[in-house]
Amino acid sequence: MKIGVFDSGLGGLVIAKALIEALPQYDYVYYGDTMHLPYGEKTSGRILAYTLDAIRFLIEQDCGLIIIACNTATAVALRYLQKRFCPKFAPNVKILGVIIPTVEVALEDAHHAIGVVATPATTRSDIYAVELKKIKPDLNVLTLATPTLVPAIEKGDFELAEKEIKQYSEKLKHLQTLILGCTHYPIVKDLFQKYLPYTHVVAQDDLMGDKLTNYLKRHNEIETKLSRKGTRQFIVSQMSDGYNQVAQKLFPNIQLKLF
């Protein structure tokens, strides 16, 4: 079985890169639903439908362990997939998200307040505040919707992204810890750190490699079923020159395939 990585676009490539660097021996299939991005402004029903289509596609590619790199899809669809879809339709498939691992790392350095920047859909779900407060009930959580960042990053317009981050940072500079609660945002994590020099910026590409390594060590029944040929496939639902440019920044000589 292969390891599948799913994202609403190309932001999840940063997670795929982190996983491949930490665990290069396994076979990976990346699927970015570029046709329907951004997910953050869509309804929960639409996000769930797109995510189900993506999971079914990755299962057809023989993925037995699937990482939902998209925070929005994790917030909306992960519980349904784990509790209802997999037990009925794919009992041998394991699906993981990125939010719980991120919360665990953020709380290691948290004091009394944590900020979260995320898409509107993730912000509406309030999932970060809920999960953070499960562990630390008295924590003050500031969640800020940042709807313009994903389109700017996907288009490769980093000048616009920096302008937006500078404006958002004015509301966040009093915080000691900031979670980048969207898989696209690690691509511009240096810009967040530039405008928030005294804030601990928690980026998911810095933690998911270690988290998956530890998960596989604890779950030998899954690890032993994973194939080890070191293959990588990168698939998108819609192609453009801009997508290729963004992908090349993360994986030089990458070959995106259209599904």
Catalytic site residues?
70, 182
Q: Which of 104, 149, 101 is nearest to 123 (CA)?
A: 149
Q: Which letter does DSSP use for residue 222 in this model?
A: H
CB-based contact 30:16 (threshold 8 Å):
yes
Helix or strand (DSSP H, E) at 67: strand 63-68
Q: How many CA atoms are closer than 13 Å to the CA of 92, on its beta-carbon side?
A: 11
Which pair of structure tokens corresponds to residue 109? Answer: 């350095």
| Residues in contact with 232: Cβ distance below 8 Å, sequence separation at least 6, in sequence order | 20, 27, 28, 29, 30
